[in-house]
Amino acid sequence: MDEVAEKPSRGGDDAQIRTLLAGNGVRGVGMLLVFFTHLALLADPAPDNNMRSYGWAAPVLGHIDLGLAAFFALSGYLIARPFTRAFVLRTPAPRLRSYVRNRVLRVVPAFYLFTALVLARFGLDGTLASGSQNASEPWQVLGQFLFVQGQTGGPAGVPIGPAWSIGAEVGFYVLIPIAAWLAARTASRLGSPQQRALFGIVAAGVVMVVSIALRAVDQYTFAWLTSPPAIMYVFMPGVAIALAEPLLAGRLRDRPRLARTLAWGAFAFAAVAAVAYAMTDYDPRQTPIHHALGQRALLAALCTGALIFGLIVLQLGTGSAPRLFANRLMLWMGERSYSFYLAHIWILLELDQLLGAGGSIATRIAVMTVVALPLTTLIAALSYRYVERPFLERKRRVVAGGKGSGGSGSGLPPDAHSVGVPARA
């Protein structure tokens, strides 16, 4: 990967980068990985095989869900960042009212729109097929709008199935201010930024390990595996990076050789971890991020954490980002990835219904790719232009007017979740 550079800001804040150059690019790449994961699942005429029809390629296709983990890690960094900065450097903390307002403006409008459209199109049984007698209960529909769809379940949520990750993000949004308050009081006697940063990083590591351990309590139940205690593990690498950034910034400014060494070492580690993740035993009940257990969960967190760490270190020291992420197409796609993420399952299910059960896997993959990818991109572009952006502009006016900082810190671009994507800053 070569690099795209931006002239480093002089006289700016030495405790952090301002705009993460590769942020939207990571979302763009991650979004496409999630899209093709779901496409491969729905292109299989026997979806209950969970990709086993692909033979040797099944483990590869079943593990590109790391794109969603990257959304979570990036969100962990961006959302925690203003709180960790305040904790480490003892600067003013973000205003809770502004934080909540910005989270609502970023996440709710597009999510409510697509949820309402999906419910209108697919009904309470969540299917286009006729004769289904399995309908969601009213409280399960309400759970969609309250971001607890992963826990309430119900067939109506199937066409917007990735919404479980938005619920996981919202859970993270709620917990971060609480954790920041607890950390500030627990570590009140720590006298130096280094001590406070180390305390926070250790705490984030403990939370990650405990979260991974908790996943084994009910290892095949979706509602538990996507609940806050069992899903926090994948956010923690981003939180740890946000804690370390104020200390790294001053040490890496104007030291491009050191920054490149650390960054490309982190990228190499991420690549090794990704390969190790893909080589783990292929168990259809455990492979996706939301079902990853034990070493799978740990490898996913370490892989995506190393990726985000490398991007931040590289930019701190050189003002640049790898072209794989910081190119015009991926930046454009990443900016619209939230709406893309919310719409893509709907479009794929429509094509699955039209194609029926016949045809080869190759034909179904080709048709779904040629039709669904540009169509979903068009829908995402329209949604971003007419739904997301008007609310984002309101959010930015508040920050620019000095009424308080939201979740992402000064100058950071809005996220686009998990993956997923989740991540929405």
With a cut of 60, say whether residue 408 has pLDDT above it.
Answer: no
DSSP for 134-193?
----HHHHHHHHTT-HHHH--GGGGGGTTHHHHHHHHHHHHHHHHHHHHHHHHTTT--SH
pLDDT tens digits, residue range 243-298? Answer: 999 999 988 988 999 999 999 999 999 999 999 998 877 676 667 888 888 999 99
pLDDT tens digits, residue range 118-128? Answer: 999 999 988 88
Sheet strands (E) in 271-390: 320-322
With a cut of 50, say whether residue 405 has pLDDT above it.
Answer: no
Mean pLDDT of 45-68: 78
pLDDT tens digits, residue range 82-105? Answer: 999 999 999 999 999 999 999 999
Q: Please, which pLDDT band fits residue 28 given cuts at 50, 70 and 90?
A: very high
Q: Please, which pLDDT band fits residue 315 given cuts at 50, 70 and 90?
A: very high
**In the prediction, which pLDDT does 418 show?**
32
Rounded to two decimals, the pTM is: 0.89
pLDDT tens digits, residue range 172-221? Answer: 999 999 999 999 999 988 989 999 999 999 999 999 999 999 999 998 89
Q: Please, which pLDDT band fits residue 158 given cuts at 50, 70 and 90?
A: confident
Least confident of 147-161, 262-276, 280-294, 397-411: 397-411
Please give the Cα distance from 376 to 371 (Å, whole number): 8
Q: Please, which pLDDT band fits residue 13 given cuts at 50, 70 and 90?
A: low
Please give the Cα distance from 356 to 417 (Å, whole number): 31
DSSP for 98-129?
HHHHHHHHHHHHHHHHHHHHHHHHHTTTT-SS
Mean pLDDT over the full length of the chain: 86
